[in-house]
Structure 1
Amino acid sequence: MNFQFSTAPRIVFGPDTARTIPEHTIKMGSRACIVTGKSPQRIQWLIDDLHKKNIQLHTVSIPGEPDTDRITALVAEARAKNCNVVIAVGGGSVLDAGKAIAALIPNKRDVLDYLEVVGKGMPLSEKPLPLIAVPTTSGTGSEVTSNAVLLSIKHTVKVSLRSTEMIPDIAIVDPLLTISAPPSVTAATGLDALTQLMESFVSSFGSPMTDALCREGLKHGAKSILKAYNDGEDIEARTGMALASLFSGITLANAKLGAVHGFAAPLGGEFKAPHGAVCAALLPSVMEINVRALKERDPGNPALAAYAETAKILTGNNDAQITDGIQWVKNTCAEMKIPGLGEIGVQKKDFKSLSAKAARSSSMKGNPLELTEKELLEILEMAL
């Protein structure tokens, strides 16, 4: 039983913890690059608090998903401002951008030199700048992961800049910051968190440590996601989803993911749809095909027991079977109006290209077994 485990050196969790950002920042640097979403005015409270600590600020906005060109330009700006600490406050895209900026300011090669799959995958030679990550959605767990997902416009695919050195120094998870997320965002991000927990739980790289976090995260996520979707101001539900998201980030960083995220990378590069919604559309079909393939080719694989346990946790029924867990996912997606892949523009003519790209994706490495091309195509057909 050999495994390694890495996570953020410090995690600060709970309502109102975001107010502690300035006191952490002052210990890490005096010239902060603040990375936030399309509306920086939403964190004016934080900007005011940082100014009171005499911290110089350079604010950058990430209005959508970060791409390599945008990150390259923002890194150049932050270098010119001599920033020595990065604070990322926002959803998964913002946190990924913050991690990439913190990593690339001291590592000065072209970003493609460091990227997986489409680049050279070179290791970072210099330690990234200190980074504080503060999520405003409950989904990606990016505040505790070791990679930044970037869109390579040239290759029309999302790929990762990855290093354990990129795990944020401090993750501040304040459920109150997620209250303003609308139902559609709550649904997409929440289902992303559940997908990450499920994929980590059945991953071939799982360990007793990640399994324990998966079980706890799934328990909180299953009982909280619909409550948070139906009532965004339900603090208990928001706290449960924030915990599920946090745990999903820790588990994926250590146990990897699987076929859902293997497909999500090329789909996200070619079609405009929320990452979590894409994952949710794929999840039931990936579960079905994985379970069938495991029973046919590797019936002793522990992933089958993990799928069975997942069904019991999701449904709250100790007698539940794997099929009940798959149906729970389908019912939850339907209640939260998650579109199929066809609704985001995917057509059958895209299947072969998407399957080929998915098979090469780094996320596919954690899938409990290697899927055939026929099985990959069947997943897309079922999710259409």
Structure 2
Amino acid sequence: MSPAAFEFATATRIVFGPGRLAEAPELVRALGGQRVLLVTGKTPARASALRESLEALGLAVTGFRVEGEPTVDLVRQGLGLLAQARCDVVVAMGGGSALDAGKALAALATQGGDPLDYLEVIGRGQPLTRASLPFVAIPTTAGTGSEVTRNAVLGSKEAQVKASLRGPKLLPAVALVDPDLLIGAPASVLAASGMDALSQLIEPFLSARANPLTDALAREGLRRSARSLRRAVLEGPDAGGREDLALASLFGGLCLANSGLGAVHGFAAPVGGMFDAPHGAVCAALLSAVLDVNLRALRARAPEHPSLPRFRELAVLLTGRAEAREEDALSWVEALRADLRIPGLATYGLTPARLPELVTKARAASSMKANPLTLTDAELAEIATRSL
């Protein structure tokens, strides 16, 4: 491998630990704003205590609910509300959808123009040049790592695809990760979000852009996910399990933001745009096929590629067995998917007739650029077919 040369960017401040949600109001006030846009998921009541605490400090709070995965139109609505209420700080508390919406609103509020001016793939892709409004991200699920990433994924109903706003201006001022917020999370949410986090540790570890710092985070995150995800979903997460899942998600976000992803997320973006499909479950359905096809492609076309020996290390990390071989990683992931009852993509409406369209869109996705090597159309079609 070439000598290490990399850049690492993340949130200005990361606050982690059980019970630390109580610190959020003072952290928000320290950012200097007076009027807060509080972005939540479809159940704003989960943030009611936070809202009351912010108001007790004399801050005006305007709520904005994100019921599903954010779209360009939803962000336009949010920008109108933000301007009307003259908000000068944004706080998002919820899953990845709420956090991505909050990031987009905080960044676009100061840029001017329309979201499509800055959205990649389906927009004009202009850079975000002005400082964002101060933004605090508080995840309530353990999957996307959105609290430390420099992109916000938005769907477009017209284009039937998801695309990203991207750039360092999207990084939060504060990422507050409290594992106790996972208490009471449904098993289905833990499963889908946990598999998303797992894929966001695996893909950067195998990425063409992997670096020593993200490698260290990925290795630790993979150990924690491997030992806790199955048990947390099937039995309910204890304090140690909640910590493992929250750290795996956080580390996955740090990894993907600095080393990129791969074909799993290259497919997940268009699948999410074409169908009403939860992102984490889509990643889970794709993961084992992507690993298998990548492993075969590397062996056949790039046997000296530095990502190839990492498949064996991945197997060791996932299984906990020093003698594990590359294929053991694939078997472990597929067994986990079965245990967690993650369905195939046909569940969401994908049919063989639409596979060519999906392959075309996936090939153009930004995440594909960090895949260990460029996959052929036949290989992409195999992944899609096997994930149905």
TM over 0.5: yes
Structure 1 residues 184-333: aligned runs within 5 Å: 184-333=188-337
- Residue 27 of structure 1 corresponds to 30
SS in 2 for 1:318: coil
Deviation per residue, 1:163-208 (Å, 9 max, x gap): 1111111100000111121000100000000001000001011100
**TM-score if structure 1 supplies the norm length?**
0.99
- Residue 168 of structure 1 corresponds to 172
**Aligned counterpart in structure 1 of residue 94 of structure 2, from 90, 104, 110:** 90
- Whether contact under 8 Å (1:232, 1:238) holds in the other structure is no
Overall identity of the aligned pairs, in %: 49
- Whether contact under 8 Å (2:211, 2:259) holds in the other structure is yes
Q: 1:233, CA displacement in angstroms?
A: 4.3
Are 1:12 and 2:15 matched, yes or no? yes
Are 1:349 and 2:353 matched, yes or no? yes
Q: 1:232, CA displacement in angstroms?
A: 2.9
Amino acid aligned to 1:2 = A
Size of the aligned set, in residue pairs, is 384
Q: 1:115, CA displacement in angstroms?
A: 0.3
SS in 2 for 1:248: helix
Q: What runs of 5+ residues in structure 2 fail to find an aligned partner?
A: none
In the alignment, the residues of structure 1 paired with residue 252 and residue 384 of structure 2 have an alpha-carbon distance, to the nearest angstrom, of 24
Q: What runs of 5+ residues in structure 1 fail to find an aligned partner?
A: none
Amino acid aligned to 2:349 = G
Q: 1:227, CA displacement in angstroms?
A: 1.9
Q: 1:231, CA displacement in angstroms?
A: 3.1
SS in 2 for 1:302: coil
Q: 1:41, CA displacement in angstroms?
A: 1.4
Q: 1:26, CA displacement in angstroms?
A: 0.7
SS in 2 for 1:26: helix
Q: 1:152, CA displacement in angstroms?
A: 1.2
Deviation per residue, 1:311-365 (Å, 9 max, x gap): 1010010111111111110111101100011222211111111001000000101
Q: 1:216, CA displacement in angstroms?
A: 0.5
- Whether contact under 8 Å (1:227, 1:234) holds in the other structure is no
Are 1:370 and 2:374 matched, yes or no? yes
Are 1:137 and 2:135 matched, yes or no? no
In the alignment, the residues of structure 2 paired with residue 330 and residue 86 of structure 1 have an alpha-carbon distance, to the nearest angstrom, of 39
Amino acid aligned to 2:8 = F
Amino acid aligned to 1:247 = F
- Residue 82 of structure 2 corresponds to 78
- Whether contact under 8 Å (2:234, 2:340) holds in the other structure is no
In the alignment, the residues of structure 1 paired with residue 345 and residue 326 of structure 2 have an alpha-carbon distance, to the nearest angstrom, of 23
Q: 1:305, CA displacement in angstroms?
A: 1.4
**TM-score if structure 2 supplies the norm length?**
0.98
In the alignment, the residues of structure 2 paired with residue 125 and residue 198 of structure 1 have an alpha-carbon distance, to the nearest angstrom, of 32
Q: 1:210, CA displacement in angstroms?
A: 0.7
Q: 1:158, CA displacement in angstroms?
A: 0.4
Amino acid aligned to 1:8 = A
SS in 2 for 1:12: strand
- Residue 151 of structure 2 corresponds to 147
Deviation per residue, 1:40-64 (Å, 9 max, x gap): 1121111111111011101100010
Are 1:3 and 2:6 matched, yes or no? yes
